[in-house]
Every structure is written in structure tokens, then in C-alpha cells.
Amino acid sequence: MKPTMKFPALMLTSESVEKADADVKHNRCLLTSVELDRDDLGADGVLVQVIYSALNYKDALAASGHTGVVRKFPLIPGIDAVGKVIESNGSGFRLGDEVLIAHAKFGTSHHGGFSSFARVPADWLVKLPVGLSLEDAAAWGTAGFTAAQSVGQLLNHGVSPESGEILVTGATGGVGVFAVQLLAKLGFSVTASTGKLDRYEQLLALGAEKVVPREEVVDLSDSPLTKSRWAGVVDCVGGTTLNSAIRATQVGGCVTACGLVSGHEVGLTVYPFILRGIVLCGIDSANVSQKYRQELWDVIGSDWSLDLRNVSQEVTLSQLPDQIERILNGSVFGRIVVRMPE
């Protein structure tokens, strides 16, 4: 019989409560610290000791009980986790292998990374690339992977440093800081857009050639096309910002879309696509094949490696609820990496 192994986690639960002004019940979500046993994670799959997780905007929505993110209760949130295999169960992984956990269900309908242990199917695991530390892998996480996907799409559609300026919107967020730094590393001229005036110097230090207030890139006119400016765009916010960026993209340009913090509606005509041949690429990091995921992570660990000292900060599991409030309030720069208790 295996010995009992208690470990800490953050658990999201839902309870039915009565509204103060009516005899009507509604659901309230609670994020609480708990102690679990590995049997609480089930018996099937590979058991991973989580060394680091990371906080994404999607995790903050999950921790708030957002119905579009959370698929079951109770749930351990956290869509990112990196660590070491401690029970292989004939999966082909060896004990001690360093891995990343990545799957659409992880942290949404399957217990996620805000826990010292996670048990997942073997095909949810990606081997840690050579040259990439566990901490840096967590810092990259889903946000950095999404940025790498976005940059890859620009390259795949023929956008090069010689094509012209690249716009990165929401540049102080998790995806944005990686997009700025990676594009600069590859030789692109990057214009970073942000609403955080106090972060200009940090974005310039990451490699942005220009930093502009978000109002400068938003055009509220009803013109179907505006003056050509961008050779490519990595949009992290959606809404009117994405609308404006598409209308200002030059002939043959490429725009990637991965966020909706500024709104989920875009409201466009077809003119940017049929008169300028602009390509709009949606970036979905959750549902890509594991083969593609492993290949891109290998590139991240080699040719696209970055110095992450200025884009991430480390917190403990107990500090995470406060960081969730910060990311929902838009006061986080870059990435929050969560170090799990031993």
C-alpha cells in the first residue's frame, strides 16, 4: 500500500446562496486552500510533481468562476504546469523526466496546475526542451507559447523585418511582452501599444523601437480602410483595437488575434481582406496537436530563447489569490510564475 501523501492546492468550488433581496438562489464560486491526497487526483495517467505553475488571464477568469472557462466543480485551476514525472505508469516517460503539461482540458475541466501534484494522460505531456529551465518554461507558459505561435504565423505569411513596422497591442500583458521581445530578437521593428504609461521604459528595454498609448492605434471612424501603417500585427486585446489594427494594415500584411480583454466583437467590412489581401489568423494555443506543440517548444528552447529576468516575477501558492486580483485589474506586467511548495 502506498503511503498517504498530503499536498497543498487551490480548489475552486461552487455553492448555492440566497440573494439578500429575494428568495432566489444563485451560485457563488470560492477559491480556497486545501490539502489533498494523490488519490484525489485519480489513478490513471502520469503523476507529475509540479515545481512551477504560472498565472494567466484565463486562470483568473477560472478562479472567478467564469462559466466560459470552468467546466466542472470542484476544480484545481491553472492551465500551466512544469515539473518532474514521479509515476510513469508505463507511459513511455521515465521517472525524473522534466515535462510541461499542456492540454485544452487542463485547468478547465481537469484538475490543473495550482497544486503540488497533477495526474494527466501521457499525451498531455511535452518533454522539456534541452536548454530551457523549469522556471523559464513556466514563465513562457501558455502566454509565451501563444506569442511564439503568433510570430510564427507572421513568418509563415511572408512578413519579414524588411516588410515594415509590426504592432503589438496589449504589450505589457503576458503574450505582449513575449511578442515584443521575440520580434525584436528576430530583427523586426516593433511598435508596442499599451494603456500603462508607466511601463514605457520597460517595453523599450525589451526591444520595442516605439511605445505608443493605445489611443494612438484606435480609430473610431467608420472608414472601412485607414492609412496603411502595419506590416503585421500581434493583437492581444480584441475589440476596437483589433478592428483599427486590421484597417491600418498594409497590402499583404498579416494580423494575429489571441485576446478579447477589450471586447469580443470586431465589426469589420470585407474591404481590408479583398482590397489589401490582409490575412487574419486566429491563435488557439489549447487545441494544437502535441506534435506541433513539442516542435514549437523545441524552437523556443533553442533559436528563440530569451532572457526572461525582466518579464516575470515569482510568487508562492499562498500569494496567488492576491495576484489573481491584480491581473483582473490590469496591474500585472508580464508573467507571474508560481513556485509550488516542496
Q: Is residue 133 part of a domain?
A: no
Residue type, 158: G
**Close Cβ partners of 21 (under 8 Å, ≥ 6 residues apart):** none
Q: How many domains does the chain contain in total?
A: 2
Inform me whether the pLDDT recorded for 157 exceeds 70: yes
Instruction: Confirm whether 166 is domain-assigned.
Output: yes
In a domain, 153, yes or no: yes
Q: Tell me the pLDDT of the chain averaged across its residues.
A: 93
Residue 295 resides in a domain: no
Q: Are 110 and 12 contained in the same domain?
A: yes
- Determine the straight-line distance between the first and last CA of the chain, rounded to whole angstroms: 23
Beta strands in the chain (DSSP E): 6-18, 25-37, 46-55, 81-87, 98-101, 117-120, 125-127, 166-168, 190-194, 210-213, 230-235, 249-257, 279-282, 312-316, 335-339
What crossing angle do the helices spanning 174-185 and 134-156 adopt, rounded to 10°? 70
Q: Is the peptide bond before 224 cis (omega within 30 degrees of 0)?
A: no
Give the CATH number of the domain where residue 39 resides: 3.90.180.10
In a domain, 289, yes or no: no
pLDDT tens profile 159-203? 999 999 999 999 999 999 999 999 999 999 999 999 998 999 999
Reported as a single tens digit per residue, the pLDDT across 256-299 is 999 999 999 999 999 999 999 999 999 999 999 999 999 999 99
| Pairwise CA distance, residues 61 & 68, whole Å | 9
CA 219 – CA 225 distance, rounded (Å)? 10
Q: What is the pTM of this model?
A: 0.94
Expressed as residue numbers, the domain containing 249 is 143-282
CB 47 within 8 A of CB 38: yes
- Model confidence at 68, pLDDT cuts 50, 70, 90, reads confident
Nearest partner of 125 among 155, 102, 145, 153, judged by Cα: 102
- Position 135: which residue type? E
Residues 75 and 124 in one domain: yes
pLDDT digits (tens, 9 = 90+) for 199-218: 999 999 999 999 999 999 99
